[in-house]
Chains A and B, each alone.
Chain A
């Protein structure tokens, strides 16, 4: 019996103007699996996540969620699909007109129609899970440090207990200890709740910890993927250069020297 992947991208193309960003991405994520995508800055990792969510529309290719085509769906069908997802944005994207707890409870109150007092309780529990107290809940997002904002965004992404969670650089901007707490949190939510996750990170320690499978994106394509344990012996020069952070190698950074 073949199982339908939770998410499947087939030959996805997306560009901006004349610039090609995604150039035929093929990737699938199985239910309950945690896949980490690595790749250089500006290679289109965030664009890939936004394409799956329908925030950007690919020019070509097909994206399936639970076997259902999601490219170009609208209205109620789209809302129903989006209910399966939680997303941690790279820049946190907290609503600055709302308090921290209202941010975390937003999906519960406005998406699911949960009464405010109940939603607040849930929000405070989620905030505690990311190491933030109830006093922080009453602040405005602008009053928090960048790392705290990231944690609030994380709490918001998991608050509604979605089936699929996207983490766009969850540990960037956190100190190493808090970074590890967040890694643990991601691992435990996958294990406990059976959530499917697709994460992006530059942080190899984090990638090793949370990934079942790692995929590397380069020039708009997935050039390597395999089990997390195989990353050290990938036999791929691009992957080797990336995970060891060497300036020398097949990946040439676009730095112009005079």
Chain B
């Protein structure tokens, strides 16, 4: 029925339109984060939701990731008698990669879906229209606090996750694999560079931005009642996760090239 070339063209154009819309949305969100009025209550509330309430699940993930990493690396490195590398590989793996990515993905699942559902409901029940008629800019009141909270809270979460993940590795290393505790810690810190931690925290800030952006964006443009809100929530998680995984590669490459 439809010409396949036309179909490809249409999909491509839709993609460009969506990308353009997202860019403008992101630009407005960032711009309004820096212009008064500020909404400290809204920012505080978002920080609590994104940061504090994500702590348990992120901490648990980090703990088990650190533990399993130690086991796997031990198995791998023992094949060429390099068991002493376990501690340093665990800490580098956690700080550079697994801490930010896993925390990012988990918070994306937790937060961006909830955000999209909340803002989407506000959209379909005309609360966003009501906001505008009460002289309140939805970008300032809804988007900016979420973006600010995302960008500031994710690095904090990841810092905590780093510590807990390394501790998980330490637990397994000393209890199961028979490393000497002092030597394990020594190895952990000897080969750790500032850049390992910093690159992880930079990633975390970017992921925090992506999570808040996709939650807010999908919610803001949702339409069509409860079903539309559900779709917005799913789309928020999927797009945030994909963006996290792709930008992860590019940020890594950026730090790698230096």
Contacts and interface: CB of A to CB of B under 8 A. Distances in A.
A89 B129 CA distance: 9
A95 B37 contact: no
Nearest to B39: A110
A111 B134 contact: yes
A93 B134 contact: no
A107 B135 contact: yes
A94 B127 contact: yes
A86 B134 CA distance: 7
A107 B129 contact: no
Interface stretch (A77-85, A124-132, A240-248): A77-85
A258 interface: no
Contacts of B126: 89, 91, 93
A106 B122 CA distance: 15
A111 B129 contact: no
Interface string A30-55: 00000000000000000000100111
A156 B129 CA distance: 14
Interface in A49-66: 50, 53-55
A97 B118 CA distance: 9
Nearest to A75: B137
Nearest to B124: A91
Given A110-B37, A110-B141, A113-B37, A83 B130 contact: no
A164 to B, nearest CB: 11
B252 interface: no
Contacts of B131: 95
Q: How large is the interface on B (under 10, 10 to 19, 20 to 34, 35 or more residues)?
A: 10 to 19
A168 to B, nearest CB: 10
A112 B37 CA distance: 11
Interface of A: 50, 53-55, 79, 82-83, 85-87, 89, 91, 93-97, 106-107, 110-113, 156, 160
Interface string B105-141: 0000000000000100110011101111111110001
A55 B133 CA distance: 9
Contacts of B141: 110
B127 A86 contact: no
B130 A86 contact: no
Given A110-B37, A110-B39, A113-B37, A93 B135 contact: no
B133 A110 contact: no
A241 B134 CA distance: 37
A89 B134 CA distance: 12
B127 A110 contact: no
A111 B130 contact: no
Given A54-B132, A97-B118, A107-B136, 4 more contacts: A55-B129, A94-B127, A96-B121, A107-B134
B135 A111 contact: yes
Nearest to A157: B133
Could you say which of A85, A106, A110 has the most chain B C-beta atoms within 10 Å of its C-beta? A110
A95 B135 contact: no
B116 to A, nearest CB: 15
